[in-house]
Amino acid sequence: AEAWLVVSLAALMVTFWVTEAIPISATALIPIAALPLIGAATIGEATSPYADPIVFLFIGGFMLAACVERWRLHERIALSIASVAGGRPVALVAGFMLASALISMWISNTATTLMLAPIAIGAARALSVDGKPDLALGGALTLGVAHAASIAGIGTPVGSPTNLIAVAFFERAGEPIAFIDWMARALPLMLIMLPIAWLLLCLPLFGRKAHSRFDAVGAVVREALAKLGKISAPEVRIGVVFALVALAWMTRTELVKLPLLGALTDTGIAIIGALALFFIPSGRPGGEKLLDWKTAEKIPWGIAVLFGGGLSLAAAMEATGLAAWIGDWIGGLDGVSTLALIAILVIATILISELASNVATLTSMLPVVAAVAIATDTPLQQLAFPVAIAASFAFMLPVATAPNAIAYSSGLLTLKRMLTVGIGLN
């Protein structure tokens, strides 16, 4: 009976997540109220997933990102890359996509797109003739920034909230995945997808010579770079801290072999890095530190609650035997090859993610994927990792992801072009 009530609760939460009848983070609080009442978990069991170590990895990582944004280091990196693009439109698109990709591996896709899109739009409008913007180049620039952010967001566990949801799921399933192991699997996919996206976006631009007004684009980028002034002491210091944290994440499997570091985790590294920012002086007059709590409060805390809600629901599905029952029910999938199984799950995830939040999509899909893995005796990560990637890869519609919506709102992009490029990338 408890399992059937969990089915009903899951259906209610998925409906709320898909329709956003109430904020998706508010929906994630429902298990705390509902699970004890339906007898599926005690209040302690219902609330403990909200303090999962991955939640604190998210908090630490986003505090580091908030500090980078506070001192505008990411903006300097992006503009510097765009400023060295050659005299051809396709090179300009490549420059903006490269900048978006490098930043999005460490900072949220939405924040990256919000920061770069106005610069890309300014560059496109600088090429306008008689007040009419160049839609071919403008669409390629704005959509290039958005799609590069979504593609490169898979590159590290902290690059996208969906990645952290998958990492937490693997951890609770007893199959933890190290930071460097995630990157080893995701980077090849990223490096394949980025050139394909660039190619699809630049098809209308190939054969064009350097634009007669290209100097105007260079002026837009140089002007934005000039406004930042010389590199500041806070930028240098946060750059060093961020680099050390990233290096520690990538080498943790070796660091744990050192004395006193045997219990070091990715979460521990993130929190140590975030705490260091509150201690290190910015180098500016007045004695302010690199990070203050006013800045730290601005991170998306609702996503941390969302993680907990998804994990709490998944734990209840396992505890009541629901996950095992689903596994038995779909045991007939034994005859399907692993490759076909992955294809079915990936296609379903991409299509759902086109209409619903990618976080909500993955949170709903992972318990089902786990049940399929058990029923077909397939390693969990072999099925769940591709699904986690697919949740970030919704390229067709403006409503699919925040970066898509930001690009479409520029006015430089037709829905037909977004669909054409998106179908190819999907």
The pLDDT assigned to 44 comes to: 94
Q: Compute the CA torsion angle 327, 331, 336, 339 (nearest 10 deg).
A: 20
Rounded to the nearest angstrom, the gap between the alpha carbon of residue 318 and the centroid of all alpha carbons in its chain is 27
Q: By the 8 A CB rule, do 179 and 250 touch?
A: yes
Above 90 in pLDDT, residue 307? no
Per-residue model confidence as pLDDT tens digits over 56-75: 877 887 788 788 878 888 77
Burial of 53 (0-12, 13-18, 19+ CB in 10 A): middle
Which range scores top for mean pLDDT: 194-203, 204-213, 241-250, 352-361? 194-203
CA distance 123 to 412: 12
Above 80 in pLDDT, residue 167? yes
Q: By the 8 A CB rule, do 110 and 405 touch?
A: no
The pLDDT assigned to 424 comes to: 92
Per-residue model confidence as pLDDT tens digits over 372-383: 888 778 888 999
The pLDDT assigned to 348 comes to: 85
The pLDDT assigned to 326 comes to: 67
**pTM for the structure as a whole:** 0.71
Q: Which of 301, 312, 153, 181 is nearest to 249 (CA)?
A: 181
Rounded to the nearest angstrom, the gap between the alpha carbon of residue 270 and the centroid of all alpha carbons in its chain is 17
Q: Which two tokens stand for residue 140?
A: 């390629």
Q: By the 8 A CB rule, do 353 and 403 touch?
A: no
Q: Which residue has the higher pLDDT, 372 or 86?
A: 372
Q: By the 8 A CB rule, do 126 and 213 touch?
A: yes
**Please, which pLDDT band fits residue 85 given cuts at 50, 70 and 90?**
low
Per-residue model confidence as pLDDT tens digits over 22-58: 888 898 899 999 999 999 899 999 999 888 887 887 7
Above 60 in pLDDT, residue 305? yes
Q: By the 8 A CB rule, do 289 and 26 touch?
A: no
Q: Which residues pair with 129 in a beta bridge?
A: 132
